Amino acid sequence: MNTVVLHIYNNLAMFLPETKFFRFKNFLLKFAGVKIGKNVRICSSAKILGNGTLSIGNDTWIGHQCLIISSSNISIGSNIDIAPRVYIGTGTHIIDLKSDNIAGEGLSKDIIIGSGSWIGVNTTILPGVAIGEKNIIAAGSVVAKSTESNNMYGGVPTKLIKNLF
C-alpha cells in the first residue's frame, strides 16, 4: 500500500460523515493500493495504516474507530461485519529473554478473516491468525490462534463457545 496516499485518506476521511461517501473513500483506498470489492462500507473514523497489502471482499462493513495495521498481508473476505473499535494488526515481536528489551526483533504475520464472519466490538485480532468462514467472534475477544469455520468464539484468549451449524 502507498503510505502517503493512506495518510491523505486517513486525514481526509475524518472530515467526512461516518456513514456516507463510501464510494469516494473506496476510490481513495484503491488509489492507495487497497483491493476493495463491491459495496464495501468503511466508517470515516476507521484508520488503515502500514505498507503491507490489504484486500477487502464484497459487501463488507468496517465499523467506527477500527484500526487496521498491515506490514504484511491482511485478507478480509466478503459479507463480513466488523464492529466498532476492532484492532487488526500484523506486527509483533519475538520474545527475547536474553536481551535488555524483552520485545526482541520485529516480525509480521499474515491475517485472514473468512467470508461471512462477524467480529464483535473491541476485538483484537493478533498476527498470524486465520479466522474461519461464518464465525462469530464475541465482543471484547482477543484472537491469538486460528479458528475453524462455522463456530462462535469468545474470551481472552478466544475459546470455542459453540458450533453454529
User: What's the pLDDT score for residue 1?
Assistant: 82
Could you tell me the end-to-end alpha-carbon distance of the chain, in angstroms, rounded to an integer? 37
pTM of the model: 0.94
* Ordered structural domains, the chain, with CATH: 3-163 (2.160.10.10)
- Tell me the torsion sign for CA atoms 97, 98, 103, 107: negative
Over residues 128-158, the pLDDT tens digits come to: 999 999 999 999 999 999 999 999 999 999 9
Residue ranges, the chain, pLDDT below 50: none
Candidate list 7, 23, 38, 93, residue with the active-site label:
93
Residue 93 annotated among the catalytic residues of the structure: yes
Q: Count Cα atoms within 13 angstroms, Cβ side, for 33.
A: 17
